[in-house]
Structure 1
Amino acid sequence: MKNVLIINGHQYYPNIAEGKLTQMYVDTAESFLKTNGFNVKHAKAESDYNPLEEVEKFKWADFFIIQYPVYWMGTPWMMKKYIDEVFSAGTNNGIYANDGRSRSDASKRYGSGGLMQGKQYMLSLTYNCPSSEFSNKAGFFDGLSLDEANIATHKTWQFCGAKPMQTYSVHDIFKGDLNIEMEKVKFIDILSKNFLG
Structure 2
Amino acid sequence: MNQSENKKVLILNGHQYYDVVAKGELTNNYIKKAKEFFLENGFEVKYTHIEEGYNKEEEIEKLVWADYILLQYPVYWMGVPWITKKYFDEVLTQGKHYASDGRSREDSSKTYGSGGLLKGKYMLSLTYNCPESEFGNKNGFFDGLSLDEAHVAVHKTFQFCGLEPLKTYSVHDIFKGDLDLEKEFKKFENTLKENFK
Give the TM interval when normalised to the shorter protein: over 0.9
Which residue does 2:3 correspond to in 1? none
CA positional deviation for 1:47: 2.3
TM-score using structure 2 length: 0.96
AA in 1 matched with 2:106: S
Residue 28 (structure 1) aligned with residue 33 (structure 2):
yes
- Across the two proteins, how many residue pairs are aligned to each other? 192
Q: Following TM superposition, by how much is the alpha carbon of 1:132 offset from its aligned partner in structure 2, in angstroms?
A: 0.2
Match of 1:92 in 2: 95
1:134 aligns with 2:135: yes
Question: Which among 60, 64, 70 is matched to residue 59 of structure 1?
Answer: 64
The one-letter amino acid paired with 1:128 is N
Q: Identify the residue that residue 5 of structure 1 maps to in structure 2.
A: 10
CA distance in 2, matches of 1:120, 1:151: 16
Deviations 1:83-129 (A, max 9, x none): 11010xx3202x11110111111111000111112x00000000000
One-letter code aligned to 2:23: E
Structure 1 residue 146 displacement after superposition: 0.4
2:160 matched to 1:143?
no
Q: Distance in 1 between matches of 2:49 and 2:111?
A: 32
- AA aligned opposite 2:61: E
1:102-141 to 2 correspondences below 5 Å: 102-117=104-119, 119-141=120-142
**Match for 2:31: what amino acid?**
V
What RMSD in Å do the two structures reach over aligned CA positions? 0.7
**In 2, distance between residues paired with 1:96 and 1:79?**
19
Percent of aligned pairs with the same residue?
Answer: 61
Distance 1:9 1:137 in 2: 29
For residue 91 of structure 1, what is the amino acid of its counterpart?
Answer: Q
Identify unmatched segments of 5+ residues in structure 2: 1-5
Runs in 1 of length 4+ with deviation above 3 angstroms? none
SS at match of 2:122: strand
Distance 2:167 2:138 in 1: 22
The amino acid across from 1:43 in the alignment is T
- Structure 1 residues 52-104: Cα deviation after superposition (integer angstroms, max 9, x where no partner): 110111111100000000000000001000111010xx3202x1111011111
> What amino acid maps onto 1:109 in structure 2?
T
In structure 1, C-alpha distance between the alignment counterparts of 2:13 and 2:150, rounded to whole Å: 20
Provide TM-score, normalisation by structure 1.
Answer: 0.96
